[in-house]
Chains A and B, each alone.
Chain A
Amino acid sequence: MLNQQNKSHNKLVGKLLLVVVGMFGFGFALAPMYEAFCNAFGINGRFVDIQKGSYDATVATDKMQLDKDRTVTVQFTASRNQNLQWEFRPMETSITVHPGEVREVKYYAKNMTGKTVVAQAVPSIVPGQASKYFNKMECFCFTQQTFAPGEAKEMPLRFVVDSGLPKKISTLTLAYTFFDTERRKVKDSAKIETNMRLAIKAR
């Protein structure tokens, strides 16, 4: 009787452990699911491949109905990943465009780390709903960029705002973050925290 009970315990515990392992995997599966969900519904500033923008250039030509009656302000910002010693900024911070009009702007980047860095820019558009109407035809964010020590580059971005952009949106902000593809965590977080503490004390 006792033996039999042990056997049924083992069977049940085995099943329950399967659930545990499965749910651990599910936790990780939430990451690609989240990505897929955002891509499918065009939310969170993600539409199709984040690196490529929404359409490639040939498709974009069909969408280029020039709408002279409407203007949209496009703002540009840039930020560095916190470990990266960079100069990185847009050459123009704000321009006004008509939907359907192809425009080109440049970003400036300079490697100040003293070593060769392969960097990748990651775009993000605010408001998120506008991201699927912002078509990048050419972008430095499509590829990784190699910078020699001290090298500076002007990097082009050619884009067109789709005339289907909802009427309520009149301003778009395009933000780029630059990060080192081979970044290693060099930061000593304890040190950062201690400095914060000291700063607070000093105040």
Chain B
Amino acid sequence: MSDHKPTGITRWLFTTNHKDIGTLYLWFAFIMFLVGGAMAMVIRAELMEPGMQVVDPLFFNSMTTMHGLIMVFGAVMPAMVGFANWMVPMMIGAPDMALPRMNNWSFWILPFAGTMLVSTLFMEGGGPAFGWTFYAPLSTTFAPASTDFFIFAVHMLGFSSIMGAINIIATILNMRAPGMTLMKMPLFVWTWLITAFLLIAVMPVLAGAVTMMLTDRNFGTSFFDAAGGGDPVLFQHVFWFFGHPEVYIMILPAFGIVSQIIPTFARKQLFGYASMVYATAAIAFLSFIVWAHHMFTVGMPVAGELYFTYATVMIAVPTAVKVFNWTATMWKGSMTFETPMLWAVAFVFLFTIGGFTGLMMGVAPADFQYHDSYFIVAHFHYVLVTGAVFAIIAGIYYWIPKWTGNMYDERLGKIHFWWSTISVNVLFFPQHFLGLAGMPRRIPDYAVQFAEFNFMSSIGGFAFGAAQLLFLYIVIKCIRGGDKATDTVWENPEGLEWTIPSPAPYHTFETAPKVK
């Protein structure tokens, strides 16, 4: 039974193999990334010049809404789960995930949920057009009929995430190889363990929020309807109680990926491993008690503004611990800059810019200027695109030789990196200025004084979008062939995944390795 794998379409439909499911997750994420990216292109095309040119305002609003939802729930989260499926068992010396059949189910819910979400665009009355945060009453009283499909899609996505998270926790806690103590686990495994706990804690709250929306819309309840004794502000509290931990769900695994890559190419051990673990846990804890910094302008009492300001700014401490540790890992290392390292270093640099703008907005009195402007758009794209997405791309370049057995095209990889990194800054950096000058987010038209920066931003957007098609080409080229990768792939990388052959056999660690 050397390396027998099933064949044909049923291999993928019925698979319980963690590597197959990881691959499915990653491809699903990539497809959704391109779909959401196409929507971003529509947005940037409309905003390229002042005035209305390409789409009508309602469709524009649908585009911003669906772009956000698809990128968050369809691209970044599934990509991270894909990495977890591929790498967690291989990193802890387990033969597979703890609950392989549930694993199959949690993936196969996703295409249906994703299809339902996208299909709302073709329904009468149009798709959801209330922003990815779907604030009531826009999403309840004034929303199109397709919103009920959106609600069901969110329920299904939630089920998928919760099952995935339970599976990951069970795998990490129960299936580590002998000798693999918690504090010996690779940092990627640690960040995913903590992320999985965040997921099971907050995805049910999101499910509750959309359920309340559903009953408000169809069954005469008034959770968010002021006329019936409810309160629309309550929606924002419930949503952001989910929403803030959610942003760490997207970024913590990215921290994990970068913490694997930087030591390999700095040829040093990760600096401050234990402090990295504690910092991750601290960030996760703080994420539960800062949610209202997303809603400073709703009319909170001063005490509330002060509390949420202080709590928010506190997050900078564990996050800075991480940034300092990555920097210290590189310090006096024998660094080389293969493609994964380039993306990882860019991650540290650009994510930190996004972190700083986050601090600016965490301060309540300053936030009143930035709130709902392009400044916040610039902020969360720096942390999510040059943060989470850059880490995902870095991780793919880092592990794809192990997955396929072939090296990717280094020259094209570097072109992809420089093209993306330059264009992404042309795309998002001017948005800081737009926001400070007062351009509101989620509008299809704007005053003429914003024209130049918007034009620049759109050019950057198209270039960045095109660069990702090159990435698709690089990935396909690598799958189809290329220089054969060695088992270690890189120079003395740390971790059990490098002790198995390249490409990784269909079944690995059927007898658990001994960890010293």
A124 touches B226 (CB 8 A): yes
**Identity of the chain A residue whose Cβ is nearest the Cβ of B148 in the assembled complex:** A189
Q: Report A129 CB to chain B, min CB distance, Å.
A: 8
User: If A5-B175, A12-B170, A193-B125 touch, does A44 touch B56 (CB 8 Å cutoff)?
Assistant: no
A24 touches B58 (CB 8 A): no
User: If A13-B166, A20-B162, A124-B226 touch, does A27 touch B201 (CB 8 Å cutoff)?
Assistant: no
| Of B39-47, B139-147, B423-431, B469-477, the one with at least 4 CB within 8 A of chain A | B139-147
Interface residues on B, range: 35 or more
- Residues of chain A within 8 A (CB-CB) of B223 are 31
Is B491 part of the binding interface, using a Cβ–Cβ cutoff of 8 Å?
no
Is B229 part of the binding interface, using a Cβ–Cβ cutoff of 8 Å?
yes
**Identity of the chain A residue whose Cβ is nearest the Cβ of B230 in the assembled complex:** A31
Other-chain contact of A23, B204, B220, B226, B231 (Cβ < 8 Å): B204
Number of A interface residues in the complex (CB < 8 A): 47
B233 touches A28 (CB 8 A): no
Other-chain contact of B220, A12, A26, A184 (Cβ < 8 Å): A184
Bound CA span A8–B98, Å: 10
- Residues of chain A within 8 A (CB-CB) of B123 are 190
Is B208 part of the binding interface, using a Cβ–Cβ cutoff of 8 Å?
yes
Is B441 part of the binding interface, using a Cβ–Cβ cutoff of 8 Å?
no
Residues 17 to 58 of chain A near chain B (Cβ within 8 Å): 17, 19-28, 30-31, 34, 41, 43-44, 50
Other-chain contact of A190, B145, B170, B233 (Cβ < 8 Å): B145
Bound CA span A200–B57, Å: 8
Most buried by A among B146, B170, B201, B211: B170
Is A194 part of the binding interface, using a Cβ–Cβ cutoff of 8 Å?
yes
Bound CA span A172–B204, Å: 40
B174 touches A12 (CB 8 A): yes
Chain B interface mostly helix, strand, loop or mixed?
helix
Other-chain contact of B234, A20, A22, A34, A50 (Cβ < 8 Å): A34
A31 touches B145 (CB 8 A): no
B217 touches A185 (CB 8 A): yes
Residues 174 to 225 of chain B near chain A (Cβ within 8 Å): 174-175, 200-209, 211-212, 217-218, 220, 223
Other-chain contact of A26, B144, B205, B212, B218 (Cβ < 8 Å): B205
Other-chain contact of B126, A21, A23, A197 (Cβ < 8 Å): A197
A196 touches B58 (CB 8 A): yes
- Residues of chain B within 8 A (CB-CB) of A190 are 123-125, 144-146
Bound CA span A165–B170, Å: 57
Other-chain contact of B173, A12, A25, A185 (Cβ < 8 Å): A12
- Residues of chain B within 8 A (CB-CB) of A68 are none
Other-chain contact of A16, B200, B227, B300 (Cβ < 8 Å): B200
Bound CA span A64–B221, Å: 39
**Identity of the chain A residue whose Cβ is nearest the Cβ of B165 in the assembled complex:** A16
B207 touches A200 (CB 8 A): no
Is B8 part of the binding interface, using a Cβ–Cβ cutoff of 8 Å?
no
User: If A34-B231, A194-B124 touch, does A189 touch B145 (CB 8 Å cutoff)?
Assistant: yes
Is B507 part of the binding interface, using a Cβ–Cβ cutoff of 8 Å?
no
Chain B residues in contact with chain A, CB under 8 A? 56-58, 98-99, 123-126, 141-147, 162, 165-166, 169-170, 173-175, 200-209, 211-212, 217-218, 220, 223, 226-231, 233-234, 237-238, 241-242, 299-301
Taking A24-B205, A192-B142 as given, write out 16 further A-B residue pairs in contact, using a Cβ cutoff of 8 Å, ordered by the A residue number: A9-B98, A19-B201, A20-B204, A27-B208, A27-B209, A30-B208, A31-B234, A82-B141, A179-B228, A183-B220, A184-B220, A189-B144, A193-B58, A193-B124, A194-B124, A196-B58
Residue pairs across A and B with Cβ atoms less than 8 A apart, 14 shown, are A13-B170, A16-B169, A24-B204, A31-B212, A31-B234, A34-B234, A41-B301, A122-B226, A129-B301, A185-B220, A189-B147, A193-B126, A197-B126, A201-B56
